[in-house]
Structure 1
């Protein structure tokens, strides 16, 4: 087992014309971060040197061409390309999208091969990254294909966790996607993640309704009565502490969310608007349900401020800390599962 400070955090650089490289370098300009992990940035030495010079950041990095060359206690740059890249801050550019994919592809391969321990992804532009190799709505779907498992977008902070039944789905198609099978799959994914990734032994989960006022007994839609409620009853009969559906409009304002370990929203904006309102700049996007750990900040490329030095790195820094914590929690869970006597011994000492 590696010492905790040597946990290898791979970082895909994201869209180079956005704020990704800026928040990555701002995070590791603080050398104390190297006490918690060993970062491996998937980009190129030339490209990172450009950003370091542009922003005048004091970051010392190690250039490597093989992941066996990773140096602990240093910021490592794994060279995914060698040519000089033309950076035009704030510009949407398909060529830049190709470099974002090169970085993500190399980082994902390293994750699959256990050459890094967890992955933190800087923001991509979901349009300009599209290609024959990348035909996905975003990171989550790509990583679900590469890493296997039932992926789920799980937005997390220290006191709030919001999962989604549907994520990057057009509003007009949401109700067509919500089935008993999907509801069970997503709730089981959240439940398993809370147990092994967050060390919550008996999680309490709230589920938000599909329609306004959860349908008002069918007056504003029948999906809550016909699909959601019966499925939640079945899940509760299995012994899981699952509650709802709750009317989404009052759930967060009433602070009811504080009574649960996680909340499951039925669609993207229903969950992410309150989440980002309550925690913007501190939130983390975690992909639950995969065989490996992946996190990212809770924002996008922010073209409007790219290159100005104004980007806030806190969400990215939180994504790094969350990746480290979840990786360690999973490792502990696997050890306890493999050695139940160890778990009993720990319980007896309480």
Structure 2
């Protein structure tokens, strides 16, 4: 088995087989240089992925294994977690395929919890066909929040642009009722710790967007800003957290104001993801921050409309692999420095001198 000191073991859940997930996974590792600094293991089935290879004439060599102890460095390892025949019909919504996506994901999460893999990168799933009596989660993040230690926070990342969410898969008409002092405090503290530990930012600056148009306009268009957001922001700021806002969301990104901050926290899903994907689509990474284990994914879905055509862009999935590895190294460094607070102080002073 590959030793963790040699290179990082990247576990990969295969996602919806009728979508572009398998294609972007295999395309990512067609570049042999990827195998020089990580050892991938795909939780799926060798025969199925061999079929996918043929559909877009991939030259990737797959190494089938039946146990994680059989991992081989320099190979695209495929852990066979099912044996039954799979009928792939690109672009179709299929409950049987959804069940296999769940099996791949939950098996990979178990390996992550056990430490058999170092990081997890998830290919896209279809949120409709994964539902069952055994799996009643709207997506990856909610399941990870239940299974892993910590408090999950969806953080979209592309270089220095980082957008987090106070609420994620919540209906718009329920967002206001979810915004509490405890939730907002927890999310801001989570993103602060994430920026320090996972992104090597010693004194992160965080912006919070308002829920209502014009950030409530002094209570004329809504009171959530005055009643919840402003008091929490002031309290945290006074205790040493560099958090600012709430800012009106409409012009925040268009004006380039986001560039002044290390992270932006949106109050709900589309408020954050629409501008993020407008600026970064195809290059961004979805990172589940706040957990003791590392999981990333591409910023796109199953893309049924182009599945099986061999034209899917794998840039975002490749970026997700790189991001997971970078965060793994950053955590190791931070945790090592944390054992000696003096080293953190010295590192902070060196950073200031560099500016």
TM-score, reference length from structure 1: 0.97
Which residue does the alignment assign to 2:193?
A: 192
* Structure 1 segment 123-138 matched on structure 2, within 5 A: 123-138=124-139
**Distance in 1 (alpha carbons) for counterparts of 2:77 and 2:63:** 5
Q: Is the contact made by 2:55 and 2:310 (CA closer than 8 Å) also made in structure 1?
A: no
Which residue does the alignment assign to 2:76?
A: 75
Which residue does the alignment assign to 2:327?
A: 326
Determine if the alignment matches structure 1 residue 139 to structure 2 residue 140. Answer: yes
Return the offset for 1:4.
6.5
**Distance in 2 (alpha carbons) for counterparts of 1:203 and 1:140:** 24
Which residue does the alignment assign to 2:97?
A: 96
Which residue does the alignment assign to 1:178?
A: 179
**Distance in 2 (alpha carbons) for counterparts of 1:344 and 1:251:** 33
Deviates more, 1:2-11 or 1:279-288: 2-11
Return the offset for 1:281.
0.5
Which residue does the alignment assign to 2:275?
A: 274
Which residue does the alignment assign to 1:239?
A: 240
Q: Is the contact made by 1:209 and 1:246 (CA closer than 8 Å) also made in structure 2?
A: yes
**Distance in 2 (alpha carbons) for counterparts of 1:325 and 1:301:** 25
* SS of equivalent to 1:317: helix
**Distance in 1 (alpha carbons) for counterparts of 2:284 and 2:122:** 14
* SS of equivalent to 1:285: strand
Could you list the per-position Cα deviations for residues 190-221 of structure 1 after superposition, in whole angstroms to 9, with x for gaps in the alignment? 00000000000000000000100011111111
Which residue does the alignment assign to 2:58?
A: 57
Q: Is the contact made by 1:5 and 1:38 (CA closer than 8 Å) also made in structure 2?
A: no
Which residue does the alignment assign to 1:47?
A: 48
* SS of equivalent to 1:217: helix
Return the offset for 1:129.
0.4
**Distance in 2 (alpha carbons) for counterparts of 1:280 and 1:271:** 13
Q: 1:229 to 1:39 in 2, by over 3 A?
A: same
* SS of equivalent to 1:287: strand
Determine if the alignment matches structure 1 residue 158 to structure 2 residue 164. Answer: no
* Structure 1 segment 18-33 matched on structure 2, within 5 A: 18-33=19-34
* SS of equivalent to 2:187: helix
Return the offset for 1:71.
0.5
Q: 1:348 to 1:163 in 2, by over 3 A?
A: closer
TM-score, reference length from structure 2: 0.96
**Distance in 2 (alpha carbons) for counterparts of 1:282 and 1:52:** 23
Which residue does the alignment assign to 1:308?
A: 309
Q: Is the contact made by 2:16 and 2:97 (CA closer than 8 Å) also made in structure 1?
A: yes
Which residue does the alignment assign to 1:167?
A: 168
Q: Is the contact made by 1:4 and 1:36 (CA closer than 8 Å) also made in structure 2?
A: no
* SS of equivalent to 2:129: coil
Return the offset for 1:32.
1.1
Q: Is the contact made by 2:207 and 2:265 (CA closer than 8 Å) also made in structure 1?
A: yes
Which residue does the alignment assign to 1:13?
A: 14
* Structure 1 segment 194-273 matched on structure 2, within 5 A: 194-273=195-274
Residues matched between the structures, number: 350
Return the offset for 1:339.
3.3
* SS of equivalent to 1:216: helix
Return the offset for 1:72.
0.8
Which residue does the alignment assign to 1:108?
A: 109
What runs of 5+ residues in structure 2 fail to find an aligned partner? none
Q: Is the contact made by 1:44 and 1:82 (CA closer than 8 Å) also made in structure 2?
A: yes
Q: Is the contact made by 2:164 and 2:265 (CA closer than 8 Å) also made in structure 1?
A: yes
Return the offset for 1:36.
2.2
* SS of equivalent to 1:40: strand
**Distance in 2 (alpha carbons) for counterparts of 1:320 and 1:43:** 18
* SS of equivalent to 1:89: coil
* SS of equivalent to 1:51: helix
Return the offset for 1:109.
0.6
Could you list the per-position Cα deviations for residues 296-329 of structure 1 after superposition, in whole angstroms to 9, with x for gaps in the alignment? 0001000010001111100000000000000110
